[in-house]
Amino acid sequence: MEKLISEFSLGLFFWQTLIFVGLIFLLKKYAWKPILSAVNEREASIKDALEAAKEARSEMESLQSDNQRILKEARAQKEALLKEARTIRSEMINTAKVEAQSEANKILSQAQEAIQNEKRTAVNELKDHVSSIALDIATKVLQNELESKDKQMQLVSKLLQNSDMK
Amino acid sequence: MRIQIRAHFALPIALLFMPFLIQAKDSKPSGDLKTEIKEYIFHHLEDAYDFSLFSYTKDNGDHKYIGMPLPVILWDNGLQIFSSSKLQHGEGVAQVGSNFYKLDHGKIFKTNALGVINLDAGKQVTNEAPLDFSVTKGVFSMLLIAFLMFFLFNRLAKSYLKNGGVPTGIGRFFEPIIIYLRDEIAKPNIGERKYRSYMSFLLTVFFFIWFLNMLGLTPLGVNVTGNIAVTFGLAITTFIITNLTGTKDYWLHIFDPLGGSMKWYSKIFLYIILIPIEILGIFIKPFSLLIRLYANMQAGHIVIMSLIGLMFIFKSWIGSSLSFGLTFAIAIIELLVAFLQAYIFTMLSALYFGFAAQEHESH
């Protein structure tokens, strides 16, 4: 201990303290502060960048899942639309068929009716015609038959003969 | 890559031995080699007034020193500044104005024109010793390291601006250490909220000690962190910062360690013992810092230099090469110790700051 104290150099202590304390303040201003702030800044920026990347990834993931969902929905919608179209088509065909059938039936029945009517009028006309011809013929025949008194007598007797008096 | 690393290690270690080798080879075999080596080691451990790289003894007995002189600054009824070359390594008397100074066992004393050193019965020098503020080898080394640190870290700070927040060059090596000190020493010991104000001290003290320790391993042969005055200065800075930034809780912990857990009349007997211990603790903490660093660095230098000295004592092929291998291994360990001691000093300083800055949530 005595040796240590005798070894102790006040001058060296003085210079050491002066240099060291001076160095602390000098380095604080010109080195440590800018270094530490630069390091901190860099660390903060790295942290930010990492966070941003994470966020972007999660966003992308959500976007992707969104896309997937939208695609799925679209597909389902397409399916539904197609299905609907198919049912509508078949329905339309069916109704068209039924309608056509009924229309056809209607037309057919109308045609039949018209044919019946035509037939009836034709028959009636024919009847009229025939009856008038028959009358004409009958008239002419009668005129011929009844030209002479004999013939008139003959007929009357014949008629009388035919109608047996009972 | 591996070869490169090896070269990096090998070069300083090879250089480390150079001055001693030259010294030992050229020294005259006069006197006892063991005491010569011992004296040389203790001479090396002390601070010096000039920056000598090596010295040798000429055939005619003159000592030849290779190095450069440094300014000697004395306060002796006015400022006396002169070159250390005037002291002639203690072999002559330096005349400055009308005053005469002589170097005796690493200290400057005022003498008469003949340079007589008076000793008392206990072999203590009775000459007057002027106040000594010389720029010694240690001071010069510290200045060197201070400039180096300023240059390095200022450049690192600037490289962030130029390079968009990414360090360049040697800064890539130092930046992780800075971040380590912040995240592993400052934050856990002081706390997330208060660590910022202590960072400048912690970073400076770490690199200052580390670089000085490393400089001590170079062939320049400086022993700055192994000097009690230097470690005392470092520790006293820690001591002052700790107690100046001490919170109310810190002082309460010292003067009222038991708090409200006991009635005052029962505490008072305990406190007669406890409070002196706590107060002593304030001083013991930095004292342990200064002794630990001093002793470790001092011991490292002694071990390495003793092992180098062994080579010349053995003077045999096997013994000398064996102690060379041992020196080599210890030198590598010293590289680790250089870092470790800087780390421990910083770590413990941070721990003490943590005590001072506590806000009484934990405990």
Mean pLDDT of A12-29: 92
C-alpha distance from residue B61 to each of B56, B58, B84, B92, B102 (Å) = 10, 5, 22, 15, 21
Which pLDDT value is given to residue A165? 61
d(CA B122, CA B102): 20
How close is the nearest chain A Cα to the Cα of B48, in Å? Answer: 11
Distance CA B143, CA B137 (A): 10
| CB pair distance less than 8 Å for B204 and A20 | yes
Q: What are φ and ψ of residue B115, in 5° steps?
A: 75, 45
CB-CB under 8 Å, A32 with B160: no
Instruction: Choose between A103 and A9: higher pLDDT.
Output: A103
Chain B: residue nearest A42 by CA?
B165
Residue of B nearest to A34 (CA): B157
Q: What's the whole-number average pLDDT of chain B?
A: 82
pLDDT of B262 reads 72
Q: Is-contact A39 B175, C-beta < 8 A?
A: yes
Mean pLDDT (whole number) for B72-89: 81
Q: Chain A: residue nearest B163 by CA?
A: A38
What confidence tens digit (pLDDT) does each residue in A54-93 have? 999 999 999 999 999 999 999 999 999 999 999 999 999 9
Highest mean pLDDT among A83-92, B33-42, B56-65, B132-141 belongs to: A83-92
**Is there a contact between A39 and B232 if contact means CB atoms under 8 Å apart?**
no
pLDDT of residue B25: 42
Which amino acid, residue B110? K
- ipTM value, please give it: 0.82
Q: What is the pLDDT of residue B363?
A: 45
- List chain A residues with CB under 8 Å of B142: 15-16, 19-20
pTM: 0.74
**DSSP state, B186?**
I
Preferred mutation among B123, B124, B144, B203 to probe A, highest tally of A CBs within 10 A: B203
Residue B21 — pLDDT band, cuts 50, 70, 90?
very low
The whole-angstrom distance between B197's CA and the closest CA on chain A is 10
Kindly list the residues from chain A whose CB atom is less than 8 angstroms away from the CB atom of residue B226.
none
**Are the beta carbons of B229 and A4 separated by less than 8 Å?**
no
* Percent of chain B residues topping a pLDDT of 70: 90
Q: What is the pLDDT of residues B115-170, one digit of tens each?
A: 777 777 777 777 778 888 888 888 999 999 999 999 999 988 888 888 777 888 88
Contact B150 A30 (CB under 8 A): yes
- How far A51 CA sits from the closest chain B CA (Å)? 19
Percentage of chain A lying above the pLDDT 70 cut: 97
Least CA distance to A35: which residue of chain B? B157
Determine which of A127-131, A141-145, B15-19, B260-264 has the lowest per-residue pLDDT on average: B15-19
Confidence at residue B85, expressed as pLDDT on a 0 to 100 scale = 81
